[in-house]
A and B are shown apart, each in its own frame.
Chain A
């Protein structure tokens, strides 16, 4: 069967029409960007002082460009979904190789420390370098260590689903509360006094959102790693 028969004319013309419509819409949108969205660089750094967050990078990632971060974690979710779809059908593999005694003991010793460090990086994202993405991946690497060293260990799927759903819904809810109270999506509706800058409780919603991002990234990365290790042929 030729490719011409499998793509009928109606589908192709519909595709072309929607492409033209999207391009027109984008052109109208790009011509009328409000001036408040065109700020970058120094003017964003000047604005950062109003939010009471010590790490200016966090303010840009989570607050000024917060909707982009929501899109980024959606991309990570789609990657996790794709790996789950490709490998989820396979049977659970049986890892025949017995893990060495030293790896077994060291993993039990190191896992709490790695998890604690991940939570520290997540919750201090607004004060020091780091944040949700890095902290989430550190927690997932701790899960990876346990998966390698303990044959029977598996993170329960329902637990991951609960955590990830909670994080995604909470992110959008916080954004919508900001939209209804301050007329800005992800508006900072909690108190953020500049005099509190540098304290753990400062910056209003910014640390809360970064912790939510950390929970979501951590659960997605753990699921990716677990699917890659546990599903597939016997080792």
Chain B
């Protein structure tokens, strides 16, 4: 193990992953606006470049050159670093997710994952909670009543929906016998887990949408009651970074759903080329992302108290029941 293996390759991998995620974020905003536009019979962005394809770039320049007002009342330090915490927290989750098997380059075997740790899923659950600090402290630091409410709601919502999510993951672990992403993907070689765990998939999917604050469950930023929730006092590049964190969370969540339940990078002919594995993963994640956007365009926002009740009184018991049934069935089969 020389320094190239130990430092250079992981550093390059990290850079590639982060740059790709940022580009994916930029065009995700475009795709979402275009799709939501079509859902309600509008055109969506169509001015900058052909089909509006340059819109994300125009938005990025706008965010960078925008005057940034730091209100006098805020807690300055927290106010400045919180968007950074949020986006770093959402990027770091991606470090353990394999996007393919491995390939040879310059005589070296390069695995298509930054670090396939043996507690990968646990790591994801832990790190996903980290980004919440960015949202909560940012809302608190803004010194604004609505931001504080948004921050509190976001915390209550995320911790509520972390439970069913954890229970769904535990059901997966009883089947696969491992928390390493590589093993979970390998266990889905013949049958994706969505078929063995349909209820687990539903529980995971709904709580996933709650975790990433997607509309119709975007309680932290309900525009019509909390203005814009935790991000009201933010502008310019800091708002753009919050926005980025939200979209990267969404992309990472879709890739997690694809990896945990849809077989990850596996698919017909996937063993032929690492590029094909990547394509399979992207296709699966794109389907999940489309469903996220579809749900947003179709369902009105739920009421906060009902949404919390749904989590505690329906999803948590359902997750527990699913885990118990899974355990009994696995014991009967084995």
Genuine A/B complex: no
Interface residues of B (CB under 8 A from A): none
